[in-house]
Structure 1
Amino acid sequence: MMTFEGLGLDEKLVQATDALGFTNPTPIQEKAIPVLLSGTKDLVGLAQTGTGKTAAFGLPLLQLVNEKERFPQALIVCPTRELCLQIVNEIELFKKFMPGMHVVAVYGGASIGAQIRDLKRGVQIVVATPGRLIDLIERKAINLEQIKYVVLDEADEMLNMGFQDDIEFILQNTPNRQSTWLFSATMPPEIRRVSKKYMQQPVEVTVGKVNTANKNIDHQYYITSAQHRYETLKRLIDFNPGIYGIIFTRTKADAQNIAEKLTREGYDIDALHGDLTQQQRDKVMGEFREKTLQLLIATDVAARGIDVQGITHVINYELPDDVEVYTHRSGRTGRAGNTGICMSIIHSREIGKIRQIERIVQVPFHKLEIPGGKDVCRKQFYHFMDNLLQLDIDDSSYEPYIPMLEEKFADVSKEEILKRLAAQEFKRFLKYYENAEDLNVRERTREVRGREERSGYDRRDRKDSGRSREYSGNGRGGDYARLFVNLGTKDGFYKASFLQFILDMSDLRKEVLGRVDMKEMNSWIEIDKRAAGQMIRAIDGKKYKGRSIRMNDADSRR
Structure 2
Amino acid sequence: MNPFSTLGIRHDIVNAITELGFENPTPIQEQAIPVLLSGSNDFVGLAQTGTGKTAAFGLPLLELLDFSENHPQALVLCPTRELCLQIANDIKNYAKNLSNVHIVAVYGGASISDQLRQIKRGVQIVVATPGRMLDIINRKAIDFSAVRYVVLDEADEMLNMGFQEDIDSILSTTPEDKKTWLFSATMPSEVRRIAKKYMTDPHELTMGTKNTGNANIDHEYYVVRARDKYAAFKRIVDFNPEIFGIVFCRTKIETQEIAEALIKDGYNADALHGDLSQQQRDKVMKRYRDRSLQLLIATDVAARGIDVNDVTHVINYSLPDEIENYTHRSGRTARAGKTGVSIAIINSKELGKIRQIERVIGKQFTKAEIPTGFDVCEKQLFGLIHKVHSVTVNEDQIEQYIPRIMDEFKDLSKEDVIKRFASLEFNRFLDYYKDAPDLNAPAYEERSSDRGRGDRYDRTSSRGNYTRLFINLGSVDDFTRGDMLGFICSNARISGKAVGKIDLKGVYTFFEVENNVVDQVQQGFKSVDFQGRNVRIELAGDRGESRGGGRERSTGGSFRERRERRSNSTGGFRDFSGKRRDERHEGNRGGDRRKKW
Same fold (TM over 0.5): yes
Q: Which residue pairs with 2:515 in the alignment?
A: 541
Moved more, 216-225 or 423-432: 423-432
Greater RCO structure (CA 8 Å; 6+ sep): 2
Q: Which residue pairs with 2:395 in the alignment?
A: 395
- The residue type paired with residue 325 of structure 2 is V
Q: Which residue pairs with 1:352 in the alignment?
A: 352
Q: Give the greater-gyration-radius structure (CA).
A: 1
Is the contact made by 2:253 and 2:486 (CA closer than 8 Å) also made in structure 1? no
Q: How does 1:29-48 map to 2 (within 5 A)?
A: 29-48=29-48
Moved more, 130-139 or 340-349: 130-139
- The residue type paired with residue 295 of structure 2 is L
2:456 equivalent among 439, 458, 461:
458
- Deviation at 1:443? 2.1
Moved more, 374-383 or 403-412: 403-412
- Deviation at 1:231? 0.6
Distance change >3 Å, CA 230–CA 63, structure 1 → 2: same
Q: How far apart in 2 are the matches of 1:71 and 1:514?
A: 53
In the alignment, structure 1 residue 114 sits paired with structure 2 residue 114: yes
In the alignment, structure 1 residue 71 sits paired with structure 2 residue 71: yes
Q: How far apart in 2 are the matches of 1:395 and 1:458?
A: 67
Q: How does 1:24-423 map to 2 (within 5 A)?
A: 24-423=24-423
- Deviation at 1:490? 5.0
SS in 2 for 1:113: helix
- Deviation at 1:422? 3.1
Q: How far apart in 1 are the matches of 2:462 and 2:288?
A: 49
Q: Which residue pairs with 2:554 in the alignment?
A: none
Structure 1: runs of 5 or more not aligned? 466-470, 476-485, 505-509, 518-523, 526-534
Q: How far apart in 2 are the matches of 1:462 and 1:17?
A: 62
Is the contact made by 2:499 and 2:514 (CA closer than 8 Å) also made in structure 1? no
SS in 2 for 1:105: strand
Q: How far apart in 1 are the matches of 2:295 and 2:460?
A: 44
Is the contact made by 2:2 and 2:23 (CA closer than 8 Å) also made in structure 1? no
- The residue type paired with residue 50 of structure 1 is G
Q: How far apart in 1 are the matches of 2:458 and 2:176?
A: 67
- Deviation at 1:39? 1.6
Q: How far apart in 1 are the matches of 2:457 and 2:70?
A: 72
- The residue type paired with residue 133 of structure 2 is L
Q: Which residue pairs with 2:13 in the alignment?
A: 13
- Deviation at 1:319? 1.1
Q: How far apart in 2 are the matches of 1:326 and 1:370?
A: 21
Distance change >3 Å, CA 556–CA 144, structure 1 → 2: same
SS in 1 for 2:501: helix
Q: How far apart in 2 are the matches of 1:249 and 1:464?
A: 26
Is the contact made by 2:461 and 2:539 (CA closer than 8 Å) also made in structure 1? no
SS in 1 for 2:227: helix
Distance change >3 Å, CA 414–CA 192, structure 1 → 2: same
Distance change >3 Å, CA 555–CA 339, structure 1 → 2: closer
Is the contact made by 2:248 and 2:315 (CA closer than 8 Å) also made in structure 1? yes
- Deviation at 1:162? 1.1
SS in 1 for 2:3: coil
Q: How far apart in 2 are the matches of 1:553 and 1:21?
A: 61
Moved more, 30-39 or 54-63: 30-39
Is the contact made by 1:39 and 1:178 (CA closer than 8 Å) also made in structure 2? no
Q: How far apart in 2 are the matches of 1:318 and 1:554?
A: 25
- The residue type paired with residue 489 of structure 2 is D
Q: How far apart in 2 are the matches of 1:272 and 1:48?
A: 23
Q: How far apart in 2 are the matches of 1:79 and 1:274?
A: 14
- The residue type paired with residue 430 of structure 1 is L
- The residue type paired with residue 226 of structure 1 is A
Number of residue equivalences: 510
Q: Which residue pairs with 1:553 in the alignment?
A: 539
Is the contact made by 1:487 and 1:549 (CA closer than 8 Å) also made in structure 2? no
- The residue type paired with residue 220 of structure 1 is E
SS in 1 for 2:99: coil
Q: How does 1:429-508 map to 2 (within 5 A)?
A: 429-444=429-444, 449=447, 452-453=450-451, 455-458=453-456, 489=487, 491=489, 502-503=500-501
Is the contact made by 2:67 and 2:124 (CA closer than 8 Å) also made in structure 1? yes
Q: Which residue pairs with 1:529 in the alignment?
A: none
- Deviation at 1:290? 0.7
- Deviation at 1:160? 1.1
SS in 2 for 1:195: helix
Distance change >3 Å, CA 124–CA 239, structure 1 → 2: same
Q: How far apart in 2 are the matches of 1:432 and 1:425?
A: 12
- The residue type paired with residue 132 of structure 1 is R
Is the contact made by 2:499 and 2:513 (CA closer than 8 Å) also made in structure 1? no
- The residue type paired with residue 9 of structure 1 is I
Superimposed CA distance per residue, residues 269-316 of structure 1 (whole angstroms, 9 cap, x where no aligned partner): 000111111111111111111111111000101111111111110000
Q: Which residue pairs with 2:559 in the alignment?
A: none
Q: How far apart in 2 are the matches of 1:374 and 1:21?
A: 42
Moved more, 325-334 or 162-171: 162-171
- The residue type paired with residue 77 of structure 1 is L
Superimposed CA distance per residue, residues 481-526 of structure 1 (whole angstroms, 9 cap, x where no aligned partner): xxxxx97625269xxxx9x96438xxxxx6xx85453xxxxxx53x
Q: TM-score, normalised by structure 2?
A: 0.79
Distance change >3 Å, CA 323–CA 554, structure 1 → 2: closer
Is the contact made by 2:151 and 2:182 (CA closer than 8 Å) also made in structure 1? yes
Q: How far apart in 2 are the matches of 1:464 and 1:267?
A: 35
Q: How far apart in 2 are the matches of 1:431 and 1:219?
A: 31
Distance change >3 Å, CA 543–CA 414, structure 1 → 2: farther
- The residue type paired with residue 69 of structure 2 is E
Distance change >3 Å, CA 542–CA 320, structure 1 → 2: farther
In the alignment, structure 1 residue 23 sits paired with structure 2 residue 9: no
- Deviation at 1:431? 0.8
- Deviation at 1:462? 9.3
Superimposed CA distance per residue, residues 307-347 of structure 1 (whole angstroms, 9 cap, x where no aligned partner): 11111100000111222100000000000000000000011
Q: Which residue pairs with 2:550 in the alignment?
A: none
Moved more, 103-112 or 280-289: 103-112
Q: How far apart in 2 are the matches of 1:487 and 1:101?
A: 48
- The residue type paired with residue 501 of structure 2 is L
Is the contact made by 2:373 and 2:434 (CA closer than 8 Å) also made in structure 1? yes
Distance change >3 Å, CA 398–CA 24, structure 1 → 2: closer
Distance change >3 Å, CA 352–CA 260, structure 1 → 2: same
Is the contact made by 2:461 and 2:541 (CA closer than 8 Å) also made in structure 1? no
- The residue type paired with residue 114 of structure 1 is D
Q: How far apart in 1 are the matches of 2:23 and 2:425?
A: 45
Distance change >3 Å, CA 463–CA 326, structure 1 → 2: closer
Is the contact made by 1:252 and 1:492 (CA closer than 8 Å) also made in structure 2? no
Distance change >3 Å, CA 450–CA 185, structure 1 → 2: closer
- The residue type paired with residue 457 of structure 1 is D
- The residue type paired with residue 291 of structure 1 is R
- Deviation at 1:394? 4.2
Q: Percent identity?
A: 55
Distance change >3 Å, CA 63–CA 487, structure 1 → 2: closer
SS in 2 for 1:247: strand
Q: How far apart in 2 are the matches of 1:99 and 1:460?
A: 66
- Deviation at 1:402? 2.6
